[in-house]
Structure 1
Amino acid sequence: MMSSYFFLTYIYMLPMTLQFTSGQKLQIQAFPSNVILKGSNVTIRCSSQYNQGPFSLLRINATLLTALDSNTYEQDFTVTNVQEHNSTDYYCYQYYERKWRDYSDFLTLQVIDPEKPNISACEQDEPEDHLLITCSAPQPPQECIIQRYFLYSGKTQLNIWPVITITPQKKIFKVSDLTAEYRCSYLLQVKTQLLHLMESPLSDRLTTTKCEDSGIIADYTTTNRVRLTLAFLLIVLACGFVIEYWISSTKNSDYIFTVLSEVTKVCRRCFRINGDPVMEFEYQNV
């Protein structure tokens, strides 16, 4: 009976013994992300699935922090006011059985310092009671994308969205208050952690200048829309003349014009309103 008890105890303790001697790697994570805004704080967590003991956080050729708690499976280390020199590799060690034994893989911390955007007001070709404000952001770090833009009036963030997108780095807002003091910013989103967002510094105060891409912006005015529509109609009309000439030059022109004549009659009946023809047309054999 006693031998059975010792046998069961041995079987129960065997997995723990194997884990203490297997060199199981620790886990290392960064919160809110391994991509961090300069001047903010980051928490690096070291954890072990099996062993209990104090942890130490290290970076290349240096011991950063050591925890004194000796009865835990995980430990959080907070690095405050991160700067460019914090962009390096970190890893964890754990102390048990009187030695620093298990270690983690490397965690690369990336500290970014986004530049402030440029802001300008674009003059339009025709007088209107509003202003088009262009907010231009620099190319974001490769770990991030620009998620959206913000426009501020003084220190108040306006609840409006851009009305025109020139490029992903250039947006245009439409405002009616021509006397307010406007600034803008953009929001960075980490590609690997979509919920981690970082806002850029505010731009300088708005200065009214000629837009670099004024030709592109002018395409959105009412006058230019009419011009583009007329140009499109002229192209369609020219294509119609070309098709008519091609049809008249084919061998089966008589048959084709017979069909078109029948279609014309149907169209004349369909496009009449209150007995007045809306449009009439006929094809003649050339």
Structure 2
Amino acid sequence: MKYLFIAILTCFAVVSKSQIYKSEKFNKFIDCFRSSFKEIPKELFYEICDEEENDRLVGVDAVKILNDESNITVLVDLVYPEGGYTSMVMIYTFSNSGELLERTALGNNMLDLSGGDQCEFEMKSKNLLEVVQKNIVYEGVDYEIERVADSTYKYYFIDENGFDVILSRITQKRKYILPSLKVFNSKELYQYEESELDIMRNEIFADHGYIFKSKKWSDYFSKIAWYQPRFDDVSDKLTEIEKINIKRILEVSKRK
């Protein structure tokens, strides 16, 4: 019995020591995001992010902590040596103890003198991450003119649990579908007439099956083939993208 007790204590001590070691390593990893020197040692990255060693990887940059309320979600940029600037932007979520919970690639950068792919990201609200993958073309004698040939938008909902990609299920026959697909800024919205902004905003509610109380919009959407009124309240059905756009459309409309 005595030897069994000693064995249990020894096992517990080994586990505790291992947990302390892992915790210290994870703290060093997180400290990289809070320091002015943003580079993460590759050995630390491989260990914490559970990634296989890659001889092509030349650097790992700690970009940003997106959420640290319960679990911790971070952005990391993996830099590769191909011509020009090449990198892959990754998102990781860890438990507070350092356990890797989920990860995914957000986009990539592959730029040279003539242009290429560029990944841009921005927190549009506390919980909404916008990722824009652009195809850039540099023109002019000294390649000083930048032109965006194409852009694709993707959005992620960020909270204490981690991240989820936002999939917008919208009616393609809507007059204005973009307010459910991308976050507009005020400058973009000012290009529309007030009447257009009204339709744009109310289409969002209509697409979720909102039963309009006003005669104006009830009559307007009753003539639209895709409109199916089902709910008195659709607040819980709006995506973060739509919530932001509704607020901005109202703000711009008031200034018209």
Tell which has more relative contact order, 1 or 2 (C-alpha 8 A, sep 6+).
1
Which protein shows a greater Rg?
A: 1
Hey, which of these two has a bigger chunk of helix by percent?
2
Q: Does the pair score TM above 0.5?
A: no
TM-score, L = length of structure 2? 0.23
After TM superposition, the score normalised by the length of structure 1 is 0.21
